[in-house]
């Protein structure tokens, strides 16, 4: 190495002390400047942070090896004269500067390692939050009145909000919420139920003609739904409230014919018998 040749030449008296000191100082200063050429860093990605840490480690190792080589030369220079001793003192000062630079490099390496750990933690937290948001939007299986379907969380919440208003006997609000639900989720598995319970809310609010329309939509769109027979029975009740027993009789008869084995059909038979 070049600093070894300088040291040996100085110890043998072949190289003037001033020239040797200047050359060696230039070499050590160059090593320090090379070590100091570490780029400023922000928060890296995983790969960038790992590459930066590996680069710092190689720089630290190179500086350590250079320091050990220089210290070995010091032992050879101890037997020299005053001029050589002054050169040794200058080299010692240079070594101290290199040591300080090494400490700086190690500190930067530690900061990079902390930044990498922080970045990985932030990525894990972000992924966990993203997964949680996805789960909140994923449809789930729902079984109501023996019918199974899938519904999104917001869809289920909207339907349950309308049901809560109905249970609280707030019939105008319940009817509106069912209507809003049907407009927003027309293809929902809850739609037949929303039509049925909207009809009930309208019936309770004495809006009989609008209730009939809601019940009829259920029968037309989902004739095999478990609530379809009950919807026909409710239509006949609305017709009675509208003072139209003839229409109610016709609805009961149609109900018995269409859904003969249902409880709604049994009720229709009883009511027909009372009308005779």
Is the same domain home to 114 and 163?
no
Q: How far apart are CA 253 and CA 272, in angstroms?
A: 8
Total number of domains constituting the chain:
2
Is the same domain home to 160 and 112?
no
Is the same domain home to 145 and 108?
no
**Cβ-contact 83, 89 below 8 angstroms:** no
Select from 135, 161, 182 the last residue of a domain. 135
**Cβ-contact 221, 196 below 8 angstroms:** no
Is the same domain home to 123 and 227?
no
Element (H, E) at 228: helix 228-241
What distance separates the 2 farthest-apart alpha carbons in the chain? 139
Spatial CA neighbour of 39 closest among 122, 108, 110: 108
Q: Which CATH number do you get for residue 147?
A: 1.25.40.10
Q: What integer pLDDT is reported at residue 257 of this predicted model?
A: 97
pTM over 0.75: no
Q: What integer pLDDT is reported at residue 112 of this predicted model?
A: 84
pLDDT digits (tens, 9 = 90+) for 232-257: 999 999 999 999 999 999 999 999 99
Is the same domain home to 106 and 153?
no
Q: What integer pLDDT is reported at residue 140 of this predicted model?
A: 86
Task: Using the predicted structure, report yes or no on whether residue 20 has a pLDDT greater than 50.
Answer: no
Q: 143 φ, ψ to 5°? A: -125, 120
- Give, in degrees to the nearest 5, the angle at Cα 225 between 221 and 230: 100
Is the same domain home to 92 and 112?
yes
Is the same domain home to 169 and 243?
yes
Mean pLDDT across 64-79: 71
Question: Among 1-10, 48-57, 80-89, whose mean pLDDT is lowest?
Answer: 1-10
Look up the domain containing 236 and give its range. Answer: 141-275
Pairwise pLDDT comparison (110 vs 189), residue with the higher score: 189
Is the same domain home to 62 and 47?
yes
pLDDT digits (tens, 9 = 90+) for 85-102: 676 677 778 888 888 888
Q: What integer pLDDT is reported at residue 58 of this predicted model?
A: 83
**Cβ-contact 71, 95 below 8 angstroms:** yes
**Cβ-contact 221, 192 below 8 angstroms:** yes
Mean pLDDT across 7-36: 44
pLDDT digits (tens, 9 = 90+) for 38-54: 444 444 466 777 787 78
Helix, strand and coil content of the chain, in percent to the nearest 5, comes to 80, 5, 20
Is the same domain home to 106 and 215?
no
DSSP structural state of residue 114: H
Select from 100, 135, 170 the last residue of a domain. 135
DSSP structural state of residue 224: T
Q: Please give the span between the terminal C-alpha atoms of the chain, in angstroms, as a whole number.
A: 122
Is the same domain home to 34 and 98?
yes
Element (H, E) at 116: helix 82-137
Share of the chain above pLDDT 70, in %: 74
Q: How far apart are CA 204 and CA 222, in angstroms?
A: 23
**Cβ-contact 112, 44 below 8 angstroms:** yes
Is the same domain home to 118 and 155?
no
Is the same domain home to 12 and 80?
yes
Q: How far apart are CA 133 and CA 123, in angstroms?
A: 15
**Owner of token pair 């032992």:** 75
Q: Which two tokens stand for residue 210?
A: 């609008």
Share of the chain above pLDDT 90, in %: 45
Task: Using the predicted structure, report yes or no on whether residue 131 has a pLDDT greater than 90.
Answer: no
Select from 93, 118, 135 the last residue of a domain. 135
């Amino acid at each position: 190495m070049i600093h070894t040749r300088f040291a040996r030449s100085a110890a043998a008296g072949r190289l003037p002390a001033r020239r040797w000191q200047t050359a060696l100082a230039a070499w050590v200063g160059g090593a320090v400047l090379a070590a100091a050429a570490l780029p400023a860093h922000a928060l890296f990605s995983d790969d960038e942070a790992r590459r930066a840490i590996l680069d710092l480690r190689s720089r630290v190792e190179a500086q350590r090896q250079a320091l050990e080589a220089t210290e070995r030369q010091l032992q050879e220079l101890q037997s020299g004269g005053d001029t050589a001793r002054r050169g040794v003192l200058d080299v010692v000062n240079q070594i101290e500067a290199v040591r300080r630079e090494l400490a700086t490099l190690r500190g930067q390496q530690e900061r990079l390692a902390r930044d990498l750990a922080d970045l990985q933690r932030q990525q894990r937290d972000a992924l966990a939050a993203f997964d949680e948001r996805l789960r909140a939007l994923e449809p789930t299986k729902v079984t109501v009145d023996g019918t199974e379907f899938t519904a999104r969380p917001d869809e289920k919440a909207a339907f349950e909000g309308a049901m809560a208003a109905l249970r609280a006997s707030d019939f105008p609000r319940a009817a509106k919420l069912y209507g809003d639900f049907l407009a927003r989720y027309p293809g929902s598995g809850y739609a037949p139920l929303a039509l049925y319970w909207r009809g009930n809310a309208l019936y309770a609010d004495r809006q009989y003609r609008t209730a009939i329309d809601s019940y009829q939509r259920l029968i037309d769109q989902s004739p095999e739904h478990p609530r379809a027979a009950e919807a026909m029975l409710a239509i006949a009740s609305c017709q009675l409230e509208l003072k139209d027993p003839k229409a109610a009789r016709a609805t009961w008869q149609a109900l018995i014919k269409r859904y003969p084995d249902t409880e709604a059909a049994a009720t229709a038979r009883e009511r027909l018998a009372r009308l005779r």
